[in-house]
Structure 1
Amino acid sequence: MHLDLFRFIRRNASLAVAAILGAQTALADSHGIAMYGEPQLPADFQALPYANPDAPTGGRIVTGEVGGFDSLNPLILKGSSPWQLPHLAHETLMGRNWDEPFSLYGLLAESIEVGENREWVEFTLRPEAKFSDGSPVTVEDVMWSYETLGTVGHPRYHSTWDKVEKMEKTGERSVRFDFNVEDRELALIIGMRPILKKAQWEGKDFAESGLDTIPITSAPYVVTDFEPGRFVELSRDPDYWGADLPFRRGTNNLDTIRMEFFGDETAAFEAFKAGILNSNREFNAEKWESQYDFAAIQRGDVVKSLIPHERPTGITGFVMNTRRAPFDDWRVRDAMLHAFNFEYVNDALTGGAQERITSYFSNSVLGMDDGPAEGRVREFLEPFADQLLPGALEGYALPVSDGSARNRAGIRAAIDLMAEAGYVIEDGVMMTPDGQPMKFEILLSQGAGEPQSIADIFVESLTRMGIDATVSVVDPAQYRERTDQFDFDMTYYRRGLSLSPGNEQRLYWSCEAAETRGSRNLMGMCSPAAEAMIDRLLNSETREDFVAATKALDRVLTTGRYVVPFYEYNTSRIAHAKELKFPEAIPIYGDWINWQPDVWWWQEEN
C-alpha cells in the first residue's frame, strides 16, 4: 500500500489546517521542528513511537560487510570507512523520528528557534550534554564542527555551509545561524551535522585523519576495538549523558555492535550460517526462500523476519557516466535500457520474485504517475519543455522484454537507437561515429556478488549488438578512488531516497555536484529542470506543491535514462538470532539507516 506522505496530519485537524495553508509560524524555544506544520510528537513525549521503553539492555549484534576499510573518520573525503559510523559513532543537535516524513527533535540541543520565514535558526545546548571523555559539549565545539566540516570535511557538507551567511554565539549555550538563501529546509539540515570535540583536533590535520585517531563524540556508542579491513567493534557507553532523554528511551539497548568484513557475499553468508554473525540482511527473494533452511534455522536458533516499509524505492542499477562518450548521448543510454533484459535477469537470479524499480520515487506517493504529466506537475515542467527528454511530459515507462534469453525486440530497438546516434554495425562490430569499435567498462568493487552476476548477463546481451563491454573488478580502495574521480564508464549504483527529499537532492543530481570530486552525482547529470524542481520542493509551502515538485523531479530523473534499474526492495528480509528482538511498531521508514541497532534488544529465551 502506498504511503500517505502526510498521514500524521490527519491525526490532528489543527495540524492539517496549518499544513494546507502553509503556515509560517515562528517557533520559539520549541522541542522540535517539522518541514510542514508542527512536529507529530508533543513536548512531553515519553519515547519514539517505534521504540520499546521497557527493552532490556545487554547482548550484541554482529553483522557482515563486504569489502574493507582504511579509516575511522567517515566525515572526510579521504579513505574508506564503515558506512554505519556516521550514524552510530556521532551525534547531532537534533534527531530524526523515522515515523514522520521529516521532523526533528532536540538531542544535543534542548530547543530550537527559527525566524518567521526560517531565514535563521538558533539552538540552545542541553547543559548536561557531554562527550565520551566526560567533557561538556560547548558552543565552541559546535561552531568548530560546522566550520571544519563545511570547509575541509567531506564535500557533501560544503553546500550547506556555503548558505550560512553568519554563525555566532548568542549565549553561553546558544548558537545562531543566518542564511543567505531562501530555503525552508536549511533550519532542519543545520540541526543534523555531527558535533566533534574541538580540542581533540588541535594540531592535527582533520582532512587527513584515518586510523590514527578515533573521534571523541557524544554518541551512545564508542569505537572500542578494530582491526584494519577486518572488523570494527563499538560498545555502549555506560556513562552516556543522554540515556534518560525521551528521544533515547528504549534505544541503544545492545551492549556491543560489531561489523565483520569479508571478501565477498558468499563468505559473509557462510559466516552467518556458522554463527560468526548473528544478523544478516538478504536482498535476493529467491535465495531467501531456497537457502535459508540451514541447521540453525531448523533448530529455531535463527529466525526470519520480514520488515515492510513505505518509503520510495530509490534507484539501484548500473549508472552511466555522462561526462564522457558514449553515455553523453541519451540515445545510447536509452539503447542500454532496451538491451538490458530485466525479465530474464529477474527470472534467472530470483525466480521472477522481485518487482522492478519503475522510477526513483516509485513505491510512494512521491513517484511519477503513469501517462502524461498533468496539473501542477505539467505546470512545473512546461517551462523546460525544449530541454526535457522524450517521455517527461508525454509519459514514460521502462522497456519490457518477452523474458527470453535473446530479447530480440529489445536488441532490435537498441540497435535502432544506436543508429540514430550515429553508430553502425560493420562485420558484427558496433562502430562509433568516428569509426572506432565501441567498447566500455563496467566497474565493480571486489565482492560485488549479485551485481556481477547481473553484469555478466548484461554483457552477453551487449555482445549480440557487437559491443565490447568488459567487467572490471577492483579492490574497495581502488573502487572508491575511481568513483570519487568519476573514472568509470558504467558502475553499480544504489541511492536510497526518503519520504522527505530536500537539500540532499542537490548532492545527488545538481550541476555543481556533477563537477565536485567525491559527490554522489555519479551520472554527471546537469539538468536545469531538475535543479528548478529541487528549488520548488525545498521552498514549497503546501503539500500539493511539494508532492507535485517531487513527482516532476522523478520524471526528469527517470526519463534522463541515467541508470539501468534493477529490483525494488520494498520489504527488508532479516535473518537473526532468536535472542535479537524488535518492537511490533514498525516506523514508516521500516528498516532504515540504523533502525536495527537503534531499537532492537537482546533477550534470552526462558
Structure 2
Amino acid sequence: MRPDFFLSRRIGIAALALACAAQAATAEPQHGIAMYGDPELPPDFVSLPYANPDAPKGGRIVTGEVGSFDSLNPHISKGSTPWQLRFLAYESLMGRNWDEPFTLYGLLAESIEVGENREWVEFVLREGAKFSDGTPLTVEDVMWSYETLGTIGHPRYHGAWNKIASMEQTGPRSIRFTFNEQDPEMALLIGMRPILKKAQWEGKDFDASGIDEVPITTAPYVIDDFEAGRFVSLKRDPDYWGADVNFMRGQANLDEIRMEFYGDGTAMFEAFKAGVLNSSREFNVEKWDTQYDFPAIDNGDVIKSVIPHERPSGITGFVMNTRRDAFKDWRVRDAMLHAFNFEFINETMTGSKQPRITSYFSNSVLGMQDGPAEGRVRELLEPFADELLPGALDGYALPVSDGTERNRGNIRTAITLMEEAGYTITDGQMVGPDGAPFTFEVVLSQGSAENEAIIDLFIQSLERMGITPTVTTIDSAQYNERVNTYDFDMTYYRRGLSLSPGNEQKLYWGCDGVEAEGTRNYMGMCSPAAEAMIDAILNSPSRDDFIASTRALDRILTTGRYVIPIYQWNISRIAHAKELKYPENLPIYGDWIGWQPDVWWWEEE
C-alpha cells in the first residue's frame, strides 16, 4: 500500500540499537508502567478500582450527538466520524487507569519492558488475543498499524512516529520500539496506539476510506448497523477474546451502544424526553435545574446524577486565529476579551450558576496560581521574558465586568486597546490605518443554539465599539473541513486537558501546527517559551518539577489571549434511565473517556 519505511530507519541507528540491547539484560517485563514512580495496582489486581467485576451483562445505552458523520474511520483526517468510535471500537497494547494521573496496564500486551532511560520499549502480545472475525492478532498487524497511522493516518499520530528510530519483531509475540530522542513519555504513548487488522486493508486506500469499510478490530464491540448521518449501533461481541483479562473485568457490560445524530440540541433533548435516548450529558446548569422536570424524571424512570472530578478545566470558548491579520496583534485579542461580557452572558445563559474557566489547567493542581510567578515557575519563564506577554511573570486575571449589559468600563478599555493597536472609530465604525473597517468572521457548526446565543450577545457588545462581525453557520462536514484547514477568524473551541499533559501538548500548541493541517493548534500560536515548557514537562525529573512546568505553560497559554473562555464544567451532569448503573467508586478523572459507557451496566429493579 505504501513503501516500507523501516529499512531506512534502521540504517544509521545500529549503534543506538546495540547500546540499547546491552541494557536489555538488566530490564524486566512489568504488568504496567507509570509516568512517574510505580503503578499503583499490583500484577494480580482483580479489576480497575472504578469497575465492578461482578457487573451483569445486558441492556443498552442510547446517546445523542448534534451533527452528522460520513466516515467510520476515526484515524484519518478525511471526513467526519463519530468521536466515540476511536475509543469504543479499537484496542491498544496498553490500557489507561483513569484513577491515576498517567498509568497504563497490559491489554493486548501481557507485559511491557523499558530501557534504563526509557530509550526503548518492548511489548509481548497476549496469547489468544484475536480480532472479531476470529483471526489471531500478530506482531505484523501491530507493526503495520504503527507505520500506517504514523505516515498516512491522522496528524495526531505523526509526532510519535517521527520519534521512532526502529521497530522490530524480537520474538514470536514481542515487538520493540527504539527512540531517536530522549522522551520518557514515549514508552507510554506507544502503548496507546489503536491496533488495526492489516489484511482488511490490503489493496485498499486506508486514508481515503469512509463508510465503505466497517473496521475489524480486537475490541469488545463491533459496528453492527449504521446509517450515514443518522445512527451507529455497536454490539458486544459474545466471543470477545479479552473478557477475562483483569484490565477488562467489569468493563464492556452493555450489549448495545447506540449513537443517534440530530440536527440541533433542541431535537436531541426532545428525543431524550420521549425516551428515544436513555442517557444525556447536560452542560447547561440552568437547563439542568429548570427543564429536567418531565414525567420520566418525576416518576423515577430517569435519574439525575452529578459526577465530581479532579481534572483540569481545559479550555472552552471562542478561539482567535492568529494566522489571520485581524488577530495577529495581542492587543486586539485583549480587546475582544474585554468586550466579551462574561458576567452578563453567564447570567443570561446559566443564571450565573456556572463558574468561568480562569486558565487552561484551572480546577486542578496544575493550574497557574494567582499573583506573580514564583520559585521554579519563575525560573522556567524568566529566560523568555522578552517574548512573554504582559501578565505571564507579574500575574494575570481575565477581565471582569460589572455584570450590566452595557459593560461600560471594559468597553472603554477595549477601545483603548484597539487604539494602541492602530485602530480608530470613524463615523461609528472601527477602522484601521488604511481606513478599512475592522471585521472578522465567526464560523460555527449547525446545531449549537447555545454557542449561537453567546455569539449574538458578544456581537451586541462589539457593535458598541463599531465592530460588526459576520457569523457563518454551516453543517458539520463543511465545518470540519474549514477548521482542519484553519479557514476561520474565530470559532468555538473546546480542548480537554488531563492531569498528565505530555506530547499531545505539541499537537495543541506547537509551532508545527501553524502550517500543518489537522492539528488542534486552532489559534496558530508559535511560542518558543511554550515549546520549552512542553519539553520541560516531558523531561521533568520529579513530580514537583512536572507541576511547575505545567503551571508555567498555563501562564503562557492564558496570557497569550488566544481564547475567550466561557464556563467550566467542574462536575458532570448525566440524566439516565434508572436501569443504567455505575460503580460508587469514581475515578479521579470522573466522567471521562473510559467511564461511560465502559464501566456502566444495565440492571432491572
On whether the aligned pair clears a TM of 0.5, the verdict is: yes
Q: What is the distance in 2 between the residues matched to 1:28 and 1:306? A: 43
Equivalence for 1:240: 240
Displacement of 1:377 after TM fit?
0.2
Displacement of 1:513 after TM fit?
1.8
Equivalence for 1:225: 225
Query: Is this contact kept in 2: 1:513–1:520, CA < 8 A?
Result: yes
Q: What is the distance in 2 between the residues matched to 1:84 and 1:352? A: 31
Equivalence for 1:10: none
Superposed counterparts of 1:171-210, under 5 Å: 171-210=171-210
Please tell me the residue identity of whatever aligns with 1:413. Answer: T
Query: Is this contact kept in 1: 2:98–2:594, CA < 8 A?
Result: no
Query: Is this contact kept in 1: 2:312–2:497, CA < 8 A?
Result: yes
CA 1:248–1:164 in 2, change beyond 3 Å: closer, same or farther?
Answer: same
Deviates further, 322-331 or 26-35: 26-35
Root-mean-square deviation over aligned CA pairs: 0.8
Query: Is this contact kept in 2: 1:56–1:601, CA < 8 A?
Result: yes
Superposed counterparts of 1:446-485, under 5 Å: 446-485=446-485
Alignment deviations for residues 155-202 of structure 1 (CA, whole Å, 9 cap, x no partner): 110111000000011111000000011100000000000000001100
Equivalence for 2:582: 582
Please tell me the residue identity of whatever aligns with 1:498. Answer: S
Displacement of 1:458 after TM fit?
0.3
Please tell me the residue identity of whatever aligns with 1:285. Answer: V
Equivalence for 1:520: 520
Superposed counterparts of 1:359-378, under 5 Å: 359-378=359-378
Q: What is the distance in 2 between the residues matched to 1:181 and 1:523? A: 28
Please tell me the residue identity of whatever aligns with 1:149. Answer: L
Equivalence for 1:257: 257
Equivalence for 1:536: 536
Structure 1 residue matching 2:161: 3-state secondary structure: helix
Equivalence for 1:326: 326
Structure 2 residue matching 1:132: 3-state secondary structure: coil
Please tell me the residue identity of whatever aligns with 2:551. Answer: K
CA 1:27–1:44 in 2, change beyond 3 Å: closer, same or farther?
Answer: farther
Q: What is the distance in 2 between the residues matched to 1:105 and 1:27? A: 17
Superposed counterparts of 1:29-108, under 5 Å: 29-108=29-108
Q: What is the distance in 2 between the residues matched to 1:420 and 1:184? A: 45
Could you list the runs of 5+ residues in structure 2 that have no partner in the other structure? 1-24
Superposed counterparts of 1:80-479, under 5 Å: 80-479=80-479
Alignment deviations for residues 270-322 of structure 1 (CA, whole Å, 9 cap, x no partner): 00000000000000111100000001101110010000000000000000000
Please tell me the residue identity of whatever aligns with 1:447. Answer: G
Q: What is the distance in 2 between the residues matched to 1:369 and 1:589? A: 21
Q: When the two structures are superposed, what TM-score results if normalisation uses the length of structure 1?
A: 0.95
Structure 2 residue matching 1:568: 3-state secondary structure: coil
Equivalence for 2:562: 562
Alignment deviations for residues 531-564 of structure 1 (CA, whole Å, 9 cap, x no partner): 0000000011101110000000000000000000
Equivalence for 2:571: 571
Query: Is this contact kept in 2: 1:445–1:474, CA < 8 A?
Result: yes
Query: Is this contact kept in 1: 2:131–2:217, CA < 8 A?
Result: yes
Q: What is the distance in 2 between the residues matched to 1:451 and 1:587? A: 30
Please tell me the residue identity of whatever aligns with 1:220. Answer: P
Q: What is the distance in 1 between the residues matched to 2:457 and 2:77? A: 34
Alignment deviations for residues 1-32 of structure 1 (CA, whole Å, 9 cap, x no partner): xxxxxxxxxxxxxxxxxxxxxxxx97511000
Alignment deviations for residues 49-95 of structure 1 (CA, whole Å, 9 cap, x no partner): 00011110000000000000000000000000001001000000000
Query: Is this contact kept in 2: 1:459–1:469, CA < 8 A?
Result: yes
Q: What is the distance in 2 between the residues matched to 1:146 and 1:130? A: 18
CA 1:53–1:26 in 2, change beyond 3 Å: closer, same or farther?
Answer: farther
Displacement of 1:514 after TM fit?
2.0
Q: What is the distance in 1 between the residues matched to 2:216 and 2:433? A: 56
CA 1:27–1:474 in 2, change beyond 3 Å: closer, same or farther?
Answer: farther
Q: What is the distance in 1 between the residues matched to 2:243 and 2:433? A: 64
CA 1:202–1:389 in 2, change beyond 3 Å: closer, same or farther?
Answer: same
Q: What is the distance in 1 between the residues matched to 2:278 and 2:217? A: 27
Query: Is this contact kept in 2: 1:88–1:221, CA < 8 A?
Result: yes
Q: What is the distance in 2 between the residues matched to 1:40 and 1:433? A: 61
Equivalence for 2:497: 497
CA 1:201–1:458 in 2, change beyond 3 Å: closer, same or farther?
Answer: same
Q: What is the distance in 2 between the residues matched to 1:512 and 1:441? A: 24
Query: Is this contact kept in 2: 1:459–1:470, CA < 8 A?
Result: no
Q: What is the distance in 1 between the residues matched to 2:180 and 2:432? A: 47
Displacement of 1:434 after TM fit?
2.1
Please tell me the residue identity of whatever aligns with 1:553. Answer: L
Alignment deviations for residues 302-353 of structure 1 (CA, whole Å, 9 cap, x no partner): 0100000000000000000000111011000000000000000000010000
How many residues are treated as equivalent by the alignment?
581
Alignment deviations for residues 362-402 of structure 1 (CA, whole Å, 9 cap, x no partner): 00000000000000000000000000000000000000000
Please tell me the residue identity of whatever aligns with 2:507. Answer: L
Query: Is this contact kept in 2: 1:377–1:548, CA < 8 A?
Result: yes
Q: What is the distance in 1 between the residues matched to 2:200 and 2:594? A: 26
Q: What is the distance in 2 between the residues matched to 1:67 and 1:350? A: 23
Query: Is this contact kept in 2: 1:26–1:114, CA < 8 A?
Result: no
Structure 2 residue matching 1:492: 3-state secondary structure: strand
Displacement of 1:433 after TM fit?
2.6
Q: What is the distance in 1 between the residues matched to 2:324 and 2:577? A: 48
Q: What is the distance in 1 between the residues matched to 2:54 and 2:219? A: 21
Please tell me the residue identity of whatever aligns with 2:435. Answer: G
Q: What is the distance in 1 between the residues matched to 2:259 and 2:538? A: 36
Displacement of 1:462 after TM fit?
0.5
The share of aligned pairs that are identical, in percent, is 73
